[in-house]
Amino acid sequence: MNILIIEDDERIASLVKRGLEENDYTVTLAYDGMMGRKLALQNDYDLIITDIILPKLNGLELCKDIRSAKPETLIIMLTALGTTDDKVEGFDAGADDYLVKPFDFRELHVRIRALMKRQNGKTNHQGFILKYDNLELNNQTKTVSRSGIDINLTPKEFKLLEYMMQNAERILSRTEIADKVWDTHFDTGTNFIDVYINYLRKKIDKEFEPKLIHTKSGMGFIFKAE
């Protein structure tokens, strides 16, 4: 497995590189955003680990560029920016996972293995379309429409909607959503999942009937026409 680390703190970069190489990964280092971008676009990596605050090109713009050019490449953001807004911004830029510094290398390794397991277990649904009531999601073109009106979603909003449509009319807990949509468990005190549910609700429910996303107090959320 080939991994690119983009990190301007040479001490952290060296520690992560050594830890990964001890687990039989092949690792390349870049110490600024522009060099990271060049390497990422010129070479094929299974995973890219990047900071957000980087010289020359910040990690958010870097992530967007990589995601646009190589949509299947896995990206983990490893950064000191740890608020809910920071995480939302990171996922919206295209990150697959988000880990806050200081971190335990063992957790990083677990996150990497979880992402690879998900990647290896993907089913290829070419042209697969999900429909519920007047809402339609196309997994091949990554488009969503309701009553014939196109709805623009971020990658994580799309993934959240896809999971909810696949599990329609079943109560989904915040823990399940975090696990299945983000492949991680967030602190129980975070409102991260609620923030994304609210984003999605505004886009697919606010201007349409019937309402599809509903909160079940103390339990989670349910995707159902009511």
Name the residue ranges covered by the structural domains of the chain.
2-120, 129-223
According to the model, what pLDDT value does residue 119 have?
67
Distance of CA 210 to the CA centre of its chain: 28
How confident is the model at residue 185, as a pLDDT? 58
Q: Where is average pLDDT lowest: 26-35, 56-65, 99-108, 199-208?
A: 99-108
Q: Is the pLDDT of residue 77 over 80?
A: yes
The overall average pLDDT reported for the chain is: 87
* pLDDT for 79: 87
CATH superfamily of 2-120: Response regulator (3.40.50.2300)
Q: Please, which pLDDT band fits residue 190 given cuts at 50, 70 and 90?
A: low
pTM of the model: 0.64
- Which of 3.30.70.141, 2.60.40.10, 1.20.1560.10, 1.10.10.10 is the CATH number of 129-223? 1.10.10.10
- The domains spanning 2-120 and 129-223 adopt the same CATH topology: no
What confidence score (pLDDT) does residue 70 get?
85
What confidence score (pLDDT) does residue 27 get? 93
Q: How far apart are CA 61 and CA 140, in angstroms?
A: 25
**% of the chain surpassing 70 pLDDT:** 92
Per the model's pLDDT, the better-predicted residue between 104 and 182 turns out to be 104
Residue 126 has a pLDDT of: 42
191 or 59, which is more confident: 59
Among candidate residues 28, 49, 56, 64, the one with its CA nearest the CA of residue 103: 49
Average of pLDDT values for 202-222?
Answer: 92
Please say if the pLDDT value at position 17 is more than 90. Answer: yes
φ, ψ of residue 183 to 5 degrees: the values are 55, 35
Distance set, CA 184 to CA 23, 98, 104, 145 (Å): 21, 9, 15, 29
Average pLDDT over residues 89-100: 89
Write the pLDDT tens digit of every residue in 98-137.
888 888 888 889 888 888 877 665 544 444 788 888 999 9
What's the pLDDT band for 182 if we cut at 50, 70, 90? confident
User: Tell me: the pLDDT tens digits for 140-175?
Assistant: 788 999 988 999 998 889 999 999 998 888 999 988
Q: What is the mean pLDDT of residues 76-105?
A: 88
CB under 8 Å, gap of 24 or more: what pairs does 181-189 form?
181/156, 182/91, 182/97, 182/156, 183/96, 183/97, 183/111, 183/114, 183/115, 183/118, 184/97, 184/111, 184/114
